[in-house]
Amino acid sequence: MPKPAARSKTGSKSKAGPKSKTGNKRSRRAIIDALKQHGPQDAAHLAEGLGISAMAVRQHLYELEAEGLVDHAAEARPLGRPAKLWALTPAADRFFPDGHAELTLGLIDSMKQAFGAKGLEKLLAVRAQEQIAAYGARIDRQRSLAGKLRALAEIRSEEGYMAAVEKTAEGYLFIENHCPVCSAAAACAGLCRSELEVFRAALGDGVTVERTDHILAGARRCAYLVTPKD
């Protein structure tokens, strides 16, 4: 004879409903997004940022770790035990857009064969000019450098780069937490070089733009230091 379902103190049957499962999925995805955008964090910082309990965050992290999506490393603290800093593994890349990597790689290879390296560079130059014109049409509406960077971040986020802007002592840090064309950029160095040129042209002659972090060089993100010229 089957055992009766467990009941709560009020006498009703206890079970996780659809809302609970949906909430768990949302929390897990929120944790993945937070680690992607802000890098390694401990459970307490994640909980504070997401507005859920540290215990719930730890439970999700251990589940994500079991699936190979996150890993952790110990960080020494002045007092108490070392903290666990959680970070995404390469397996988590599937949660973020890849920009149709396979198709893009195939097109790059075909263009190299059809037009040669110089022909590919010309095509990238044409694409860069189109980007500069499109970005400039939206960026130029802003008067301040901060406004221009926020507009650029909005554009790049729409394209899948998860862009953000941070104020620094030197100026501003323009950050791209994800590269939807990373595979293509690895096969065609001109794409990254073109990106830097596009930012410089779109933001105008009054600023200096220098890349400080590069995903293809092993960083978790691409970042650019943007400073006003004297």
Looking at the structure, tell me whether residues 152 and 213 fall in a common domain: yes
Q: How many CA atoms lie within 13 A of 184 on its CB side?
A: 24
Per residue in 130-179, pLDDT tens? 999 999 999 999 999 999 999 999 999 998 899 999 999 999 999 999 88
Q: 173 and 224 in contact (C-beta within 8 Å)?
A: yes
The pLDDT of residue 108 is 73
Looking at the structure, tell me whether residues 62 and 167 fall in a common domain: no
Q: Tell me, yes or no, if the pTM score tops 0.95.
A: no
- DSSP character at residue 4: P
Of 41, 56, 89, the last residue of a domain is 89
Looking at the structure, tell me whether residues 32 and 132 fall in a common domain: no
Please report which residue ranges of 101-228 form alpha helices under DSSP H. Answer: 101-139, 145-158, 182-187, 189-203
Question: Torsions phi, psi of 33, nearest 5?
Answer: -65, -40
Q: 86 and 92 in contact (C-beta within 8 Å)?
A: no
The CATH number of residue 39's host domain is 1.10.10.10
The CATH number of residue 185's host domain is 3.30.1380.20
The pLDDT of residue 94 is 79
The pLDDT of residue 173 is 97
Looking at the structure, tell me whether residues 85 and 105 fall in a common domain: no
Q: 126 and 147 in contact (C-beta within 8 Å)?
A: no
Looking at the structure, tell me whether residues 157 and 220 fall in a common domain: yes
The pLDDT of residue 177 is 93
For β-strands 222-228 and 207-213, DSSP reports them as antiparallel
Domain contains 53: yes
Residues of the chain whose pLDDT is less than 50?
1, 4-16
The pLDDT of residue 124 is 85
Domain region containing 158: 101-228
Q: Distances in Å between the alpha carbon of 124 and those of 110, 111, 163, 184, 192? A: 14, 11, 22, 12, 10
- Characterize 113-131 residue by residue with b for buried, 16 or more Cβ atoms within 10 angstroms of its Cβ, and e for exposed: eeeeeeebeeebeeebeeb
The count of domains in the chain is 2
Of 42, 59, 89, the last residue of a domain is 89
